[in-house]
Chain A
Amino acid sequence: MSTTPPNTVDFSGILRNVNAATPDFVFVGSYPAESALLIRGISEIGIADSVKMFGGAMVGIQYAQQLESLGSALNGIINYDTYVVAPTMKFPGIEKFLERYRTIAEKAKIDSLDHFLPPFFYAGGQLIAAAANAVGSINEAKLAEWLHHNTVETVVGPIKFGPDGNWAENRLIWAQYRGVQDANIDQFRGPGRQIIVQPEALATGTVASPYKKART
């Protein structure tokens, strides 16, 4: 395991150490700047043939600016996400929501891709609206009680909570970047650039491995 401070600008030494260890898997937990620098570093330094999968919890690369900037360097990486355009995620209302959001986002000069967080925040609002309408109150205890025992249809699919307050079924998705081209954000507005490999219920493909081959 290797940890890095937040102001690291050169990951070449770390990547060389990773390569020297000939790992099977490389799991990265990084913040936006480090995510971008690591991915750039792989293009520059290369990656060991032994690596079957690379990625994990890399924050930042879900956003439009980084997707556009990193482009083809993303190929092969498996990373967490919350929403990607895929046939298995075509839930009622999502397309209308994204269209509406995009118009507002472009005017406000904020992330124009709108996939990573906005649908889930909107779904949060749908949860509260559904619970409030059902119990006829905004009493938090009553809302929570209702939400614990009911499934709500939202723009990100049906949401149901388990006894511990977490989602009844894991809903975080793991997607592998495939066939991504440079400097083209519009390619992410359609399916095919992020293949969902987990959870199985939403999967649109299987993992392409080893990582070096998946990068091409």
Chain B
Amino acid sequence: MVVELTSNAIVSGLLLGGLYAVASLGLTITFGLLEIPNIAHPTFIVLGAYCARFINLQGIDPVIAGFIFAPVFYLGGVALYQVYFVSFEHRGRSNTLQSFTFFFGVALVLQVSLILAVGVDLTSVRAAYIGKSLTIGIITIPYRLIVPFAVGMVVGVATWLFLTRTRTGLAIRAVAHDANALRIVGLSPTRAKRHAFGIAMMTASVAGAALIVVSPVDPFVGTQYIGRTFAIVVLAGMGSVPGTLAAALIIGLLESLVVTFIGATWAPGISFAALLATLAIRPSGLFGIAR
């Protein structure tokens, strides 16, 4: 029985980590690379979930819906960064407190807009794989978790390849280290940041689709992910995509083991316990480079 419980807890935890990974990727870019504390990111994930639900009502798979809406989210991200740039960075006011206030306000406006548009009731999606599971020996895996895990890994690897193998990706990483150096070589740091913000928002669309496959959502659910996603980004090492994937899997795994063997009440604390323990030993995070 213990072997069965442990095996299932490990698999469920890793799959859950896939959801956390895709939910944290956007913050890895905005907070980890650009050092913009986009606290509104989880609320944009909820918006993505509702967009997926809207398309799902037409009979299209919610995950596909997440990818369909991604370009729209990209444009929204570009526009949001432009507002942030004009209001704060351009005027030299982009300190952490003001940025937090701005994005907190954005999250609040978005949340209230969602409430007005769709109400406060829980909503979910339909897909052939929801409510079914795959059994391999003693391990039973819900497809509801397999699909978001696959999405998380694919989007994570694609983001990593983009940031490491393309000129635009390299520019985004460079702006995080030295914006002036980027100017010297003739590239615009603002343009790179705008592009990065758009890409981060694209991941919110896909993460929203993954989230609503895993569990029903309401306009308030984003607040439950703020702490966990920020913890994953810091645990990973600021701006590290592989670190984000690893940290998300670790958090998912630890939470699942805690739920199974200690009690679900303790599970939310595990993100922060792991964060504190790691930072005490390795302040730059799992994959971070000391600056």
Contact = CB atoms under 8 A, between A and B. Distances in A.
Contacts of B12: 10, 12-13
Contact of B123 (A41, A65, A109): A65
A106 B174 CA distance: 53
Contact of B144 (A17, A32, A44): A44
A5 interface: yes
Nearest to A73: B131
A9 B265 contact: no
Contact of B142 (A14, A36, A44, A65): A44
A69 interface: yes
B144 A111 contact: no
Interface string A8-21: 11101110110010
Helix, strand, loop or mixed for chain A's interface? helix
Contact of B267 (A5, A12, A33, A45): A5
B264 A14 contact: yes
A43 to B, nearest CB: 4
Interface size class of B (residues with CB under 8 A): 35 or more
Contacts of A46: 140
Contact of A10 (B16, B133, B268): B16
Given A6-B224, A44-B142, A65-B121, 10 more contacts: A5-B264, A5-B268, A7-B224, A8-B259, A12-B142, A33-B217, A45-B133, A69-B216, A73-B131, A111-B121
28 contacts: A5-B264, A7-B225, A9-B19, A10-B16, A10-B145, A12-B142, A13-B9, A13-B259, A14-B264, A16-B8, A16-B260, A17-B5, A32-B122, A33-B122, A33-B216, A36-B215, A43-B131, A44-B132, A44-B140, A45-B140, A45-B142, A60-B122, A63-B121, A65-B123, A66-B124, A73-B131, A109-B119, A110-B119
Interface of A: 2-10, 12-14, 16-17, 20, 32-33, 36-37, 40-41, 43-46, 60, 63, 65-66, 69, 73, 109-111, 183
